[in-house]
Amino acid sequence: MFQLFLIAFRNLGTHRRRTLLLGGAIAGVTALLVILMGLSTGMKETMLRSATTLATGHVNVGGFYKVTAGQAAPVVTAFPKILELVRKEVPELDYAVQRGRGWAKIVSESSSLQVGVGGIDVKDEPGFRQVLQIHEGTLDGLDEQNTVLLFEKQAKKLQVKVGDTITISAPTMRGTNNTVDVRVAAIATDVGLMSDFNIFVPSNTLRSLYQLRDDTTGALYLYLKDVSQVPQVQARLRTVLADAGHQLMDNDPRAFWMKFEVVNREAWTGQKLDITNWEDELSFITWTLTALNGLTGILIFVLLVIIGVGIMNTLWIAIRERTREIGTLRAIGMQRTRVVVMFLFEAMTLGALGTLAGALVGLAVCLGVDSAHVGVPEAVAMFIMSDRLHLVVNAGSVVGAMVFITACTTLISLIPSFLAARLKPVTAMHHIG
Amino acid sequence: MNAAVAQSPIVSITNVTKDYTLGKVVVPALRGVDLQVHPGEFISIAGPSGSGKTTLLNLIGCVDTATSGVVSVAGQDTKQLTERQLTHLRLHTIGFIFQSFNLVSVLSVFQNVEFPLLLQRKLDKNQRKERVNQLLEQVGLADHAKHRPNELSGGQRQRVAVARALVTRPQLVLADEPTANLDSVTGQNIIDLMKELNQKEGTTFIFSTHDAKVMSHANAVVRLADGKFLDRLTPSEAKRAMAAGAEGH
Ligand SMILES: Nc1ncnc2c1ncn2[C@@H]1O[C@H](COP(=O)(O)OP(=O)(O)OP(=O)(O)O)[C@@H](O)[C@H]1O
Ligand SMILES: [Mg+2]
């Protein structure tokens, strides 16, 4: 067996140019694959991190309160008790926050916008600082009552700066309009889609806008230590909350603001809770993820096919050139299967070394680009909700790519070596070229 | 000699034909050859270029198949054997010295000679080493064990091919013009080596040659002409016949 390996190695060494060419091509594909996957995973991760921080927790306890059957408000009443229960029953919890939810009109001297209004206690929101880049002002400014955080694009549209005052106007549960004047405390760099229709104010400011009680909020956002535990936690919360006497809505995997119509049509009044997860709340943007995945997939596929055909061609020629040698080995008494194994081993060695080199290069590029904090064009920033390129290398998928490409190389060489080994020894020995 | 003849033949060829097809043209290379070779014989196949010597050796060596007729090697009808069994026969029973050497270019002289032993898996590393070195000594290439074939002269490559064919101590050795590329001294050495093996171990040799001096060592000279069996002569008869033939032209 050792001799087979020796022949394989020597052959690779003897045809150095071809080996380098083939190995280089294989390394290139691998590197490209690793980079593309890193980019795709990184974009997904960035997007989900921004989105989960700004618009949803991993698991949310939200709900609706109805004074009359057709008048639903997206609030959770008497939330401190629920929060206490959650903290007790969910050991997987990293941290939990309460967020006010609203839909309002913001008006400046020159312009107005219809936006979603989030009510936050900025001190309790560690994730916010990581996700948002404050362009002007400070996040801590939101500690004060009657302040607001806008995004750059909104500030531009409204023609306001930090320190300026704008008015928020919204219909209350009783059907009348209420307004609150707020001071711009911070302007954050745009984070894509999210920043187009979201502003943030202190929780109490939101409460006074909607004339809500102190123990009322929009939803509890639960952030877990491990996102994969979402389904368990969600299921447990349903039973625990039901047992504690709360009315629960049927599971509906959509964002809360898409549910008004359904809720308003139902006859019940009072409070019902709704347990959702981040995928539900972001269902309206997950198509971008699907598109991203599809795009990466197509790109990778086309690349693989093009380069695969090239590699196949070269491998076939390389093996055909050695038909005489195959004939000799067969004439000496080498079985067909061993001849094939010898070539497979050669291709596998080439594939393994090539993919290893490629993976290292790809890895280096990913880490390099990631730490260089390369900026992205605005169109991309809108998708990924971040202005910086973030690449994440997933060890599993890199190894997967290496194994896959090595397997392909090996399989491709199976055909010509099988054909060559099948020839009569004398025919193979007299093969020309 | 008589004892040898009494044994069943190691090679038995009955009415064998071989056609090569080149596109639409059929070239008959052998047209009905019969030949019996008994264990321990040292047979020379003679005949002009193109008479079918190589073709015949290829059939006996199981690297090619006859168009019709029966080729039996070591008592087995080669038509009845599977490719696997044929390969096994080539590895364990036959040693073949090809007209064009056919060495593995990426292996050293030592590794080339060792290769059949590795395929056989009968000897351990030290035994292999001993056997290979002994043969390289005998063919006069002990100093070239580490060289690659492309660093050797034609004659040296020829000798590597000889060593590779003999290293497994096969029952039957086929040699296609084993001395064609050698000077008379080395050629004589190779013939002596073959002769020694033939006498000591009873190895059967069938070799083709144009060289009357080489023929003179054979038990018998089988002459082919135009793909047909011409006659089976003693070396001295053959010498005379060929001299007459040469005069006749
Ligand atoms: N692969 C082949 N394809 C077609 N014809 C062939 C092939 N090999 C041999 N022949 C033909 O078969 C006949 C016998 O060839 P062969 O090689 O057996 O002759 P030979 O006696 O060995 O000649 P030489 O002394 O030159 O080696 C020749 O006419 C040759 O042209
Ligand atoms: Mg010949």
Together in a domain, A23 and A130: no
Strand A177-188 and strand A147-151: the pairing is parallel
Q: Is A218 buried (19+), middle (13-18) or exposed (0-12) by CB count in 10 A?
A: buried
Identify which of B142, B169, B167 has the alpha carbon closest to the alpha carbon of residue B156: B142
Q: Return mean pLDDT, chain A.
A: 87
Domain that holds residue A135: 58-277
Instruction: Please tell me what DSSP assigns to residue B8.
Output: P
Amino acid at A395: A
The tens digit of pLDDT for each residue in A116-157 reads: 899 999 888 888 888 888 888 998 999 999 999 999 889 999
Statement: residue B4 has pLDDT above 60: no
Residue A383 confidence (pLDDT):
64
pLDDT higher for A195 or A402?
A402
Together in a domain, A148 and A173: yes
The tally of domains found in chain A comes to 2
In sequence order, what are the beta bridge partners of A136?
A187
For the segment A407-425, the average pLDDT, to the nearest whole number, is 87
Q: Do B106 and A329 touch (CB under 8 A)?
A: no
Determine the residue of B51, B206, B215 to mutate for testing ligand 1's pocket, defined as the one with the most ligand atoms within 8 A of the Cβ atom: B51
Greatest CA separation found in chain A? 98
Q: Is B140 helix (H, G, I), strand (E, B) or coil?
A: coil
Among A250, A277, A304, residue at a domain's last position: A277
**If you measure from the C-alpha of residue B50 to the centroid of ligand 1, how many angstroms do you get, rounded to a whole number?**
5
Together in a domain, A317 and A359: yes
CB of B55 sitting under 6 A from ligand 1: yes
The span from the CA of A31 to the CA of A360, in Å, is 7
- CB of A103 closer than 8 Å to CB of A117: yes
Choose the weakest-confidence range: A61-75, A321-335, B229-243. B229-243
Residue B247 confidence (pLDDT):
53
Together in a domain, A107 and A248: yes
ipTM, two decimals, is 0.89
CB of B118 sitting under 6 A from ligand 1: no
Choose the weakest-confidence range: A141-150, B3-12, B170-179. B3-12
The span from the CA of A60 to the CA of A97, in Å, is 10
Going by pLDDT thresholds of 50, 70 and 90, the confidence category of residue A1 is low
Residue A4 confidence (pLDDT):
74
Together in a domain, A187 and A227: yes
The span from the CA of B72 to the CA of B86, in Å, is 11
Task: Give me the percent of chain A exceeding a pLDDT of 90.
Answer: 37
Among A220, A252, A277, residue at a domain's last position: A277
Chain A residues with CB under 8 Å of a chain B CB are: 3, 6-7, 10-11, 13-14, 324-325, 327-336, 338, 424-427, 429
Together in a domain, A312 and A268: no
Together in a domain, A302 and A330: yes
For the segment A217-235, the average pLDDT, to the nearest whole number, is 91
Together in a domain, A112 and A179: yes
The tens digit of pLDDT for each residue in B146-165 reads: 999 999 988 899 899 999 99
Q: Do B91 and A330 touch (CB under 8 A)?
A: no
For the segment A95-100, the average pLDDT, to the nearest whole number, is 91
The number of C-alpha atoms within 13 Å of A426 and in the hemisphere containing its C-beta is 18
Residue B55 CA: nearest ligand 1 atom is: 18
Determine the residue of B16, B17, B19, B20 to mutate for testing ligand 1's pocket, defined as the one with the most ligand atoms within 8 A of the Cβ atom: B20
For the segment B50-61, the average pLDDT, to the nearest whole number, is 94
Which residues in chain B have Cβ-Cβ distances shorter than 8 Å to A6? 107, 111
Which range of A66-75, A238-247, B2-11 scores highest in mean pLDDT? It is A238-247
Q: In this structure, what token pair is assigned to residue A347?
A: 């291709």
Residue B249 confidence (pLDDT):
47
In sequence order, what are the beta bridge partners of A59?
A222, A277
Residue B2 confidence (pLDDT):
47
Q: In this structure, what token pair is assigned to residue A20?
A: 């380098």
Which residues in chain A have Cβ-Cβ distances shorter than 8 Å to B106? 7, 10-11, 13-14
Together in a domain, A132 and A34: no
Mutation site, A19, A332, A336, A429, interface B, largest B CB count within 10 A: A332
Among A277, A301, A324, residue at a domain's last position: A277
Q: Whose CA is nearest to atom 29 of ligand 1?
A: B50
For the segment B173-181, the average pLDDT, to the nearest whole number, is 89
Together in a domain, A87 and A107: yes
Residue B193 confidence (pLDDT):
87
Q: In this structure, what token pair is assigned to residue B63?
A: 């690297």
Task: Give me the percent of chain B exceeding a pLDDT of 90.
Answer: 63
Q: Which CATH architecture group holds B2-248?
A: 3-Layer(aba) Sandwich (3.40)
- CB of A37 closer than 8 Å to CB of A363: no
Q: In this structure, what token pair is assigned to residue B73?
A: 């090697």
Strand B76-77 and strand A198-202: the pairing is unpaired
Q: Give the domain ranges of chain B.
A: 2-248
For the segment A381-408, the average pLDDT, to the nearest whole number, is 82
Going by pLDDT thresholds of 50, 70 and 90, the confidence category of residue B71 is very high
The tens digit of pLDDT for each residue in A248-265 reads: 999 888 888 889 889 989
**If you measure from the C-alpha of residue B144 to the centroid of ligand 2, how many angstroms do you get, rounded to a whole number?**
28
Statement: residue A386 has pLDDT above 80: no
Residue B245 confidence (pLDDT):
67
Mutation site, B87, B115, B160, interface A, largest A CB count within 10 A: B87
For the segment A276-299, the average pLDDT, to the nearest whole number, is 81
CB of B198 sitting under 6 A from ligand 1: no
Q: In this structure, what token pair is assigned to residue A411?
A: 């399989």
Residue B1 confidence (pLDDT):
46
Strands (E), B100-171: none
The tens digit of pLDDT for each residue in B101-140 reads: 889 888 899 999 999 998 998 999 999 999 999 999 988 8
**If you measure from the C-alpha of residue A199 to the centroid of ligand 1, how many angstroms do you get, rounded to a whole number?**
91
For the segment B204-228, the average pLDDT, to the nearest whole number, is 91
Statement: residue B6 has pLDDT above 60: no
Neighbours of A245 (CB within 10 A): 6
Together in a domain, A214 and A268: yes
Q: Do A330 and B87 touch (CB under 8 A)?
A: yes
Specify the DSSP element, H or E, that contains B117: helix B109-120
Residue A324 confidence (pLDDT):
86
Q: What is the 3-state secondary structure (H, E, C) of chain A?
A: CHHHHHHHHHHHHHCHHHHHHHHHHHHHHHHHHHHHHHHHHHHHHHHHHHHHHHHCCCEEEEEEEECCCCCEECCECCHHHHHHHHHHHCCCEEEEEEEEEEEEEEECCCCEEEEEEEEECHHHCHHHHHHCCEEEECHHHHHCCCEEEEEHHHHHHHCCCCCCEEEEEEECCCCCEEEEEEEEEEEECCCCHHHHCEEEEEHHHHHHHHCCCCCCECEEEEEECCHHHHHHHHHHHHHHHHHCCCCECCCCCCCHHHCHHHHHHCCCCEEEEEEEEHHHHCCCCHHHHHHHHHHHHHHHHHHHHHHHHHHHHHHHHHHHHCHHHHHHHHHHCCCHHHHHHHHHHHHHHHHHHHHHHHHHHHHHHHHHHHHHCCECCHHHHHHHCCCECCCCCCHHHHHHHHHHHHHHHHHHHHHHHHHHHHCCHHHHHCCCC
For the segment B168-183, the average pLDDT, to the nearest whole number, is 90
The span from the CA of B94 to the CA of A421, in Å, is 20
**If you measure from the C-alpha of residue B182 to the centroid of ligand 2, how many angstroms do you get, rounded to a whole number?**
16
Predicted TM-score (pTM) of the model is: 0.72
Q: In this structure, what token pair is assigned to residue A340?
A: 């094939």
Neighbours of A272 (CB within 10 A): 20
Which residues in chain B have Cβ-Cβ distances shorter than 8 Å to A5? none
Q: In this structure, what token pair is assigned to residue A259?
A: 């549910």
Residue B99 CA: nearest ligand 1 atom is: 27
For the segment A210-217, the average pLDDT, to the nearest whole number, is 90
Residue B53 CA: nearest ligand 1 atom is: 21
**If you measure from the C-alpha of residue B50 to the centroid of ligand 2, how many angstroms do you get, rounded to a whole number?**
7
Q: Do B102 and A331 touch (CB under 8 A)?
A: yes
Together in a domain, A341 and A361: yes
Choose the weakest-confidence range: A98-107, A168-177, B52-61. A168-177
